[in-house]
């Protein structure tokens, strides 16, 4: 029997993760993170989510505690998110939350309190390799979350459990219904937890000094104007406010001059990209590997040389600040962030 600290977000996946660990005979404690102190109607930061986690813990008969990491969340997740948009990048706050909060602060506290493992409801698996434990895709391809955990290496995975990784989402819900958990049919959150649904522009506008600028085509001709680069991301087609007779996509954002460049779909294609903060968590067994640059995107064959990714065939451009995860089959062997 192991002592396990389960991070319970108030959703069905972490609820079932706790139940599975309890069934396996472990000494389970549930913890919910208080991260965002402002308004929220999604994610794991609303009052109702904390209450759902507490009620599920009570149903299971396990202790439940709330850890208040709101100051650190502001510094490590919210502030970098705002800064990224102000710089023309497109960040992934869920990745930074996993890196600094869940597998940073919570893992550190669990070790300090003599827990053997931390656990979450992520749809991913931990497999054994010659180089130690490795992260692998979850059993349900449509719900796989290994992409947002790409930074976890053998040291973190050796004291981590991912109980629902072997289950499909429908199997998770079936298990929750069998146990009559209040979260069994709760809808999933697909939004940034600290921004109300549909409120990204208002959230950023309150925190970024907006600068108007030109919208130009691929030849540098001015075709429109905007009132802030934080309203745009690479690959965006809707809401450009540009009428040029054919579909145009955002192909570049220059923060220094507040210039947004638009172009046809072919202008988005690239054969290589440069990364920063590259981390290999496993040595790949084969080359080329595949790289994934969206949470549920289609992996693309590529080679990685230092900080450069070279695609086997041209791929749509990836926004600076986004994660590129490396895969050797189903095993995630690291990744990095797209450089400017």
Q: Mean pLDDT, to the nearest integer, of 331-335?
A: 97
More confident position, 208 or 109: 109
Cβ-Cβ contacts under 8 Å for 235 (sequence gap 6 or more):
249, 250, 268, 316, 317, 319
More confident position, 86 or 19: 19
Q: Residue 240: its pLDDT value, please?
A: 86
pLDDT tens string 87-146: 989 999 999 999 999 999 999 999 999 999 999 999 999 999 988 999 999 999 999 999
The two structure tokens encoding residue 161: 């459990």
Q: Mean pLDDT, to the nearest integer, of 326-338?
A: 96
Q: Mean pLDDT, to the nearest integer, of 307-317?
A: 95
Q: Residue 286: its pLDDT value, please?
A: 75
The Cα–Cα gap between 295 and 281 comes to 18
More confident position, 205 or 39: 205
Domains in the chain, CATH or no CATH each: 3-122+162-178 (3.40.50.620), 209-263 (2.30.30)
Q: Bridge partners of 77?
A: none
Q: List the one residue out of 11, 23, 32, 9 whose CA is nearest residue 60.
A: 23
pLDDT tens string 264-299: 999 999 999 999 999 999 998 877 899 999 988 899
The Cα–Cα gap between 222 and 220 comes to 6
Q: How confident is the model at residue 193 (pLDDT cuts 50, 70, 90)?
A: confident
Phi and psi at 202, nearest 5°, equal -65, -40
Q: Is the pLDDT of residue 44 over 80?
A: no
Q: Residue 45: its pLDDT value, please?
A: 60
The two structure tokens encoding residue 79: 């502030």
Q: Residue 188: its pLDDT value, please?
A: 83
Catalytic site positions: 97, 193
The Cα–Cα gap between 52 and 56 comes to 6
pLDDT tens string 222-263: 999 998 998 899 999 988 878 767 889 999 999 999 999 999
- Alpha carbon of 54 to those of 47, 58, 182, 190: distances in Å? 11, 6, 11, 22
Q: Residue 187: its pLDDT value, please?
A: 86
pLDDT tens string 134-190: 999 999 999 999 999 999 999 999 999 999 999 999 999 999 999 999 999 988 876
SS3 readout for the chain: CCEEEEECCCCHHHHHHHHHHHHCCCEEEEEEEECCCCCCCCCCCCHHHHHHHHHHHHHHCCCEEEEECHHHHHHHHHHHHHHHHHCCCCCCHHHHHHHHHHHHHHHHHHHHCCCCEEECCCCEEEEEECCEEEEEECCCHHHCCHHHHCCCCHHHHCCEECHHHHCCHHHHHHHHHHCCCCCCCCCCCCCCCCCCCCCHHHHHHCCCCCCCEEEECCCCCEEEEECCHHHCCCCCCCCCCCCCCCCCEEEEEECCCCEEEEECHHHHEEEEEEEEEEEECCCCCCCCEEEECCCCCCCEEEEEECCEEEEEEEEECCCCCCEEEEEECCEEEEEEEECC
Q: Is 118 exposed, middle or buried (0-12, 13-18, 19+ CB in 10 A)?
A: buried
Q: Residue 37: its pLDDT value, please?
A: 73
Q: Is the pLDDT of residue 3 over 90?
A: yes
Q: Mean pLDDT, to the nearest integer, of 65-82?
A: 94
Q: Residue 192: its pLDDT value, please?
A: 83
């Amino acid at each position: 029997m192991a002592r396990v600290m389960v991070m319970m977000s108030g959703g069905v996946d972490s609820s079932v993760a706790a139940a599975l660990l309890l069934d396996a005979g472990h000494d389970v404690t549930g913890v919910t993170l208080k991260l965002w102190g402002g308004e929220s109607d999604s994610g794991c930061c609303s009052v109702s989510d904390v209450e759902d986690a507490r009620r599920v813990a009570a149903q299971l008969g396990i202790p439940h505690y709330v850890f208040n990491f709101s100051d650190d969340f502001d510094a490590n997740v919210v502030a970098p998110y705002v800064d990224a948009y102000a710089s023309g990048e497109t960040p992934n706050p869920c990745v930074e939350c996993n890196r600094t909060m869940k597998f940073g602060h919570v893992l550190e506290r669990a070790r300090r309190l003599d827990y053997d493992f931390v656990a979450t409801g992520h749809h991913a698996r931990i497999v054994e390799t010659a180089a130690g434990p490795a992260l692998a895709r979850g059993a349900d391809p449509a719900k796989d979350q290994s992409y947002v955990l790409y930074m976890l290496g053998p040291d973190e995975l050796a004291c981590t459990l991912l109980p629902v990784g072997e289950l499909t989402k429908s199997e998770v819900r079936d298990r929750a219904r069998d146990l009559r958990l209040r979260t069994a049919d709760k809808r999933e959150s697909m939004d940034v937890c600290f921004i109300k649904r549909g409120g990204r522009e208002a959230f950023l506008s309150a925190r970024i000094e907006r600068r108007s600028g030109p919208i130009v085509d691929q030849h540098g001709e001015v075709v429109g104007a905007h009132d802030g680069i934080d309203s745009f991301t690479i690959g965006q087609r809707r809401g450009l406010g540009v009428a040029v007779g054919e579909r145009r996509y955002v192909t570049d954002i220059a923060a220094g001059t507040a210039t947004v460049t638009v172009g046809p779909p072919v202008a988005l294609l690239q054969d290589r990209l440069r990364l920063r903060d590259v981390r290999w968590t496993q040595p790949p067994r084969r080359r080329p590997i595949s790289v994934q640059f969206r949470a549920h995107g289609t992996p693309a064959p590529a080679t990685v040389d230092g900080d450069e990714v070279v695609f086997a065939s041209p791929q749509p451009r990836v926004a600076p600040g986004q994660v590129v995860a490396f895969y050797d089959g189903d095993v995630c062997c690291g990744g990095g962030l797209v450089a400017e």
